Amino acid sequence: MELYVNQNRTLAKRDEMIFGHFLEHFHRQIYGGVFDPCNPLSDTDGFRTDVLEALKKIRTPIIRWPGGCFVSAYDWKEGVGKNRQPVFDKAWRVEEPNTFGTDEYALLCQKLGAQMYICSNAGTGTAEQMSDWLEYTNLEVGKYAQMRKENGHTEPYKVRYFSIGNENYGSWEIGAKEKHEWARLVTEAAKMLKRVDPEVQLSAAALSDADWTMELLTHAGRYLNWVSIHRYWDPIHTTNDHASYEKAMSYTCKLDSEIQKTQGLLVAMGLKKQIHIAFDEWNLQGWYHPGIHSAIPETDETKWLTPRDENDDNSQYTLADAVFTACVLNMFLRHADCVRMANFAPSVNTRGMIFTHKNGIVLRSTYHIFDLFVNQMGETIVDSWMPEQPVMTFTGPEGGPLQIPVLDTVATLRADGKTAISLINKSPADTVQISLSGCGKSGTLYTVTGENISVYNDIEHPDSVKITQRTLSITSPVTLPPHSVSVLVCD
């Protein structure tokens, strides 16, 4: 097999925000995750220093917060000031202490050098409440700017990205809307938000469904900068029945179907240049939270609350997650002309890259994929092609045979002038040799893999999956291990 690279043909410039992240008030993502004031590993502001360092290493560019489903019953005013009171979180049916709110979120982003991306309450909330929140974060004058100052924060936070709602198209969401209701609410909220801060960039929940999104764009399109789409390819929210490695690889076929459909709608509406796609919740695995979204929720905590602890089982996050995650990042690079933001869901605990325990953290397999792509891949996507591509046959999600390309590759040009190529070998068992043309004579190969497809990192075995590197000649074929993700940086 041969991969040809044309460094002189630029396809797109990627935005660093495609490597963004997401935190929600669910289980241990915030409390006991990134924010844990009672832990000796936390700084004086209550943030876990080990988590901060891990997020800094992957240069976290933007964090979406506070939801997710949580936000659709959230009153931001209860999470600011000195006299905060716990409330009942109707989304996840637990007590929300409100000790982590807007000001703590802003401080987290400041510590990381990350952009703030607030997702607002469009479930039980109103357009005025959304604009009040933006007044609090962005204005110098007015009632809510004064409230922020009285809370000890003199300077505005200058939030640049603000989302109107979460998954308000879904029956599971508190305050779900019909398409005409949604279009109307987004339009009126956007009008108020833009009057508070004309420079804020607004997003709104969309679908690859034409009826929903065309209605939204017809009425609110002139106010929007983004449409937000989500995807969990392995929807195991109620079963925790994880896909096999082979099934996870089958999901890599037609990964970009939502992007293509959504982009088509933007083109049809003449909005492609104005509105970009924010893929602002994504992961292979859906979060496990059984008994929460049924018409009559479970009352026995052992059936709906206790099972959430199973998200903390590190053995679930294997090389299937790593290889799949790399394929998604490759997809974002290929669609860098329209996908300008993406947010891995979540960053910490649940299905996140980072697992916290009282004595430290575990970097799961997916963390090393972000490390690899953020720190080795380039900013400019250049043309590359393979005349022949091997395939493997698995049983597809529909039950029939499915042919899957073995390799997934993207070529980029870095700011230092070096070519960096992602080389993903999806085969569960076979090495692959690939010849490269147009890449020079030598390079460094950075690789994430492990002994077998089921390997994972845990407290006792933190480095079963890690990044290794070796220098090599690329005048000869490069050997890629099975179930591996590599980036070749050419000298």
| Boundaries of domain holding 322 | 15-376
Give the domain-ending residue among 356, 376, 396: 376
Q: Could you tell me the CA-to-CA distances from 398 to 31, 374, 392, 401, 402 in Å, in that order?
A: 39, 34, 17, 9, 9
Residue 397 in this model has a pLDDT that exceeds 80: no
SS3 state at 183: helix
What average pLDDT does the chain have?
97
Question: Is-contact 121 130, C-beta < 8 A?
Answer: yes
* Statement to judge: residues 234 and 328 lie in one domain: yes
Distance of CA 360 to the CA centre of its chain: 23
Question: Is-contact 4 47, C-beta < 8 A?
Answer: no
Strands (E), 167-225: 201-205
The Cα–Cα gap between 119 and 25 comes to 12
Q: What is the CATH number of the domain that holds 400?
A: 2.60.40.1180
pLDDT tier for residue 395 given thresholds of 50, 70 and 90:
confident
* Statement to judge: residues 112 and 129 lie in one domain: yes
* Statement to judge: residues 344 and 428 lie in one domain: no
Domain count, the chain: 2
Q: What is the CATH number of the domain that holds 299?
A: 3.20.20.80
Residue 396 in this model has a pLDDT that exceeds 80: no
* Statement to judge: residues 404 and 294 lie in one domain: no
Residue 429 in this model has a pLDDT that exceeds 90: yes
Percent of the chain with pLDDT strictly greater than 90: 95
- From 29, 391, 453, select the one nearest 243 (Cα to Cα): 453
Cα of first residue to Cα of last residue in the chain, in angstroms, is: 22
The Cα–Cα gap between 351 and 15 comes to 24
Give the domain-ending residue among 344, 376, 408: 376
Two tokens, residue 60:
């976290």
Strands (E), 247-338: 276-285
Residue 340 in this model has a pLDDT that exceeds 80: yes
150-159: long-range contacts, CB 8 A cutoff, minimum separation 24? 150/81, 151/80, 151/81, 151/82, 151/103, 152/103, 153/103, 153/106, 157/106, 157/116, 159/116, 159/117, 159/118, 159/134, 159/200
Q: State the amino acid at position 190 in one-letter form.
A: A
Q: Could you tell me the CA-to-CA distances from 277 to 270, 340, 383 in Å, in that order?
A: 14, 6, 22
Q: What is the mean pLDDT of residues 450-457?
A: 97
pLDDT tier for residue 401 given thresholds of 50, 70 and 90:
confident
SS3 state at 223: helix
pLDDT tier for residue 245 given thresholds of 50, 70 and 90:
very high
**Do strands 115-119 and 62-65 pair parallel, antiparallel, or not at all (unpaired)?**
parallel
Q: What is the mean pLDDT of residues 61-84?
A: 97
The Cα–Cα gap between 258 and 346 comes to 20
Question: Is-contact 276 336, C-beta < 8 A?
Answer: no
Question: Is-contact 274 226, C-beta < 8 A?
Answer: no
Q: What is the mean pLDDT of residues 2-16?
A: 96
* Statement to judge: residues 270 and 249 lie in one domain: yes
Q: What is the mean pLDDT of residues 299-323?
A: 97
Q: What is the mean pLDDT of residues 125-140?
A: 98
Q: φ and ψ at 440, to 5 degrees? A: 90, -165
* Statement to judge: residues 55 and 140 lie in one domain: yes
User: Hunting for tokens 């952009």 — which residue is that?
Assistant: 115
447: left (phi over 0), alpha (psi -120 to 50) or beta: beta
357-370 confidence digits (pLDDT tens): 999 999 999 999 99
Residue 33 in this model has a pLDDT that exceeds 90: yes
Residues near 391 by beta carbon (within 8 Å), at least 6 away in sequence: 403, 404, 405, 406
What pLDDT was estimated at residue 153?
98
* Statement to judge: residues 368 and 484 lie in one domain: no
What pLDDT was estimated at residue 398?
74
* Statement to judge: residues 234 and 129 lie in one domain: yes
269-308 confidence digits (pLDDT tens): 999 999 999 999 999 999 999 999 888 888 999 999 999 9
The Cα–Cα gap between 491 and 488 comes to 10
What pLDDT was estimated at residue 293?
86
Q: For 35, how many CA atoms within 13 A lie in the half-sphere containing its CB? A: 22
CB atoms within 10 A of CB 84: 16
* Statement to judge: residues 47 and 112 lie in one domain: yes
The Cα–Cα gap between 380 and 333 comes to 9
Percent of the chain with pLDDT strictly greater than 70: 100
* Statement to judge: residues 467 and 335 lie in one domain: no
Give the domain-ending residue among 325, 348, 376: 376
What pLDDT was estimated at residue 356?
98
SS3 state at 314: helix
Question: Is-contact 422 408, C-beta < 8 A?
Answer: yes
- From 404, 428, 423, 406, select the one nearest 253 (Cα to Cα): 404
What pLDDT was estimated at residue 399?
77
* Statement to judge: residues 304 and 404 lie in one domain: no
* Statement to judge: residues 145 and 215 lie in one domain: yes
